[in-house]
Amino acid sequence: MLKIGDKVRFLNDVGGGTVTGFQGKDIVLVADADGFEIPTLVSEVVAVETDDYNIAKVVAGQKKKKKDDGPMPTSVKKALAVTDDEEEEETDVADKEITYRPMAQERRGANELNLFLAFVPQNEKALSETAFDVYLVNDCNYYFHYSLFTYEGRSCHLRHEGEIDPNTKVLLEELQRGRVEEWQRITLQTLAFKRDKAFLPKPAFSVNVRVDGTKFYKLHTFHATDFFHHPALVYDIVKNDHAARSMFVDADELQEAMQTPEEQVNPKVMRVSAAEKRALQKQDRNAIIEVDLHADELLDTLAGLESKDILQYQLKVFRETLNEHLKDRGRRIVFIHGKGEGVLRNAILKELRTHFKQCRYQDASFREYGYGATMVTI
């Protein structure tokens, strides 16, 4: 058996050289006295004891190939062709798809389902203009199959679907400011499981979430979390094995309720709109008029509106309401503005001190409104 470093001579030609390598199992590379490598069939060289290649004594002949190895190649060209085929076959094997999948890393005490939807501003200092990265966060030891639907009227659209590994987060999309309203109502369906091991079965969930578009304008609604380096607005989808916001309606009960007049279900209930409610309050001079200044109560959509535009509209409603009742001495009006950062509340107080000096004002009932309302007395 030849090996690198052996000295050989050619059987069918003059000269010989030193073995420097092999190409496949049938070709040997022989370097001559000038250092040139000559590819030669293994069957056409023999190992020798001396550097005199022309008169050397043969030490060992070539072993005959086994019958099951097939016929020997008859030329270097054919042998090289066989070698190329073998290399191609080896390359094909190496290029095969790797199907091995490492087991997911698990945490102790994380076998209760916890799944969150997070909105992370790309520029938290410019909330009125920035886009948001939307993430699905899996904070448990289970895999999730998920489907996320958004709504347009009564119709829904499949917006995202896939699988998320345990204790990871996945970027769903980059949400532009002008498309926030598309996420105001979503449904997220999930199925939890584990791979390659036994596990306790978990229920499937269909969770309805209403994303408040006004929160995207308020910096204080974005909080530090364990999942991101920057503040995020996080909605619970599944919390400790329970759907955070779910709706389970029996189809028969729903159909019966839809076909039954509301007056028959509860004859004491009279449905009135906000405008009708204020009209009823006007008829009773002792009644307190409530005006909710939250943007989602005043506007049908927030699409294309910046925070300053929303504030100006809220102040417009405030002024119009006061001007309408300036002649009603003693009339009390409660303006619900929410706690928040106090931007709307401070703007209202400035309006009262500047343009409605004849009106008295104070914080509304804490028991009913907390710190989120101001009562004005004409």
CATH of the domain at 182: 2.60.40.1600
> Sorting pLDDT into bands at 50, 70 and 90, what band is 248?
very low
Higher model confidence: residue 214 or residue 174? 174
Establish if 158 belongs to a structural domain.
yes
Given the structure tokens 């989808």, which residue do they identify?
A: 237
CB-based contact 208:238 (threshold 8 Å): no
Show which of 197, 212, 243 is a domain's final residue: 243
What is the C-alpha separation between 51 and 31, in angstroms, rounded? 13
Q: Which residue has the higher pLDDT, 158 or 64?
A: 158
303 phi, psi to nearest 5 deg: -60, 130
pLDDT band at 31, cuts 50/70/90? confident
Identify the pLDDT of residue 187. 94
| Cβ partners under 8 Å of residue 43, min gap 6 | 26, 62, 72
Residues 193, 225 within the same domain: yes
Please indicate, yes or no, if residue 202 is contained in any of the structural domains.
Answer: yes
Instruction: Using the Cα atoms of residue 210, residue 216, residue 219 and residue 222 in order, give the sign of their dihedral.
Output: positive
Averaged pLDDT for residues 44-65: 56
- Is the overall model pTM greater than 0.85, yes or no? no
In a domain, 251, yes or no: no
164 and 229: one domain?
yes
Residues 237 and 130 in one domain: yes
Six-digit token pair at 226? 């364990």
Query: Does 231 lie in the same domain as 155?
Result: yes
pLDDT confidence of residue 27 = 87
* Model confidence pLDDT, tens digit, residues 256-267: 656 655 445 444
How far is CA 371 from each of CA 307, 335, 367, rounded to the nearest angstrom? 22, 12, 9
**For residue 237, how many C-alpha atoms fall within 13 Å in the half-sphere facing its CB?**
27
> For residue 346, how many other CB atoms are within 10 A of its CB?
11
Domain's final residue, options 215, 243, 271:
243
**Domain presence at residue 37:** yes
148 in the same domain as 66: no
Q: In the 8-state DSSP scheme, what is residue 3?
A: -
In a domain? residue 1: no
Give me 205's structure tokens: 């969930």
Predicted pLDDT of residue 47: 83
For range 118-139, the mean pLDDT: 91
Query: Which band of pLDDT confidence, cut at 50, 70 and 90, is reported for residue 9?
Result: confident
- Residue 108 in domain: no
Where does residue 58 rank: exposed (0-12), middle (13-18), buried (19+ CB within 10 A)? Answer: exposed
Q: Given this model, what pLDDT does residue 168 score?
A: 94
pLDDT tens, position by position, 351-360: 999 999 999 9
- Do 47 and 84 lie in one domain? The reply is yes
**Same domain as 370, residue 290:** yes
Confidence of residue 200 (pLDDT cuts 50, 70, 90): very high
120 pLDDT higher than 90:
yes
Burial (CB count <10 Å: 0-12, 13-18, 19+), residue 116: buried
- Cα dist. 88→29, 35, 93 in Å? 21, 29, 9
Same domain? 140 vs 86: no
pLDDT of residue 212: 86
| The predicted structure's pLDDT at residue 162 | 96
Instruction: Indicate if the alpha-carbon torsion angle 52, 54, 59, 61 is positive or negative.
Output: positive
Residues 132 and 213 in one domain: yes
- Residue 288 in tokens: 């307190």
Shared domain check, 266 and 237: no
Let me know whether 350 and 308 are in one domain. Answer: yes
* Structural domain span for residue 323: 261-377
pLDDT over 60 at 122, yes or no: yes
Single out the residue in 62, 94, 126 at which a domain terminates: 94
**Pair 15, 32: CB distance under 8 Å:** yes
Q: Name the residue with tokens 């300036």.
A: 326
Inside any domain, residue 103 = no
Give kind and range of the element (H or E) at residue 323: helix 307-324
Range picked from 143-147, 212-216, 239-243, 369-373 for highest mean pLDDT: 143-147
If you average pLDDT over every residue of the chain, what do you get? 79
Residues ≥6 apart with Cβ < 8 Å to 241: 112, 113, 202, 203
Average pLDDT of 270-276?
48
Tell how strand 289-292 and strand 332-336 pair up.
parallel
Mean per-residue pLDDT, 221-226:
89
371 and 273 fall within a common domain? yes
* Mean local confidence (pLDDT), 299-327: 85
Structural domain includes residue 175:
yes
Domain count, the chain: 3
Smallest Cα–Cα separation from 155: which of 134, 185, 177, 179? 185
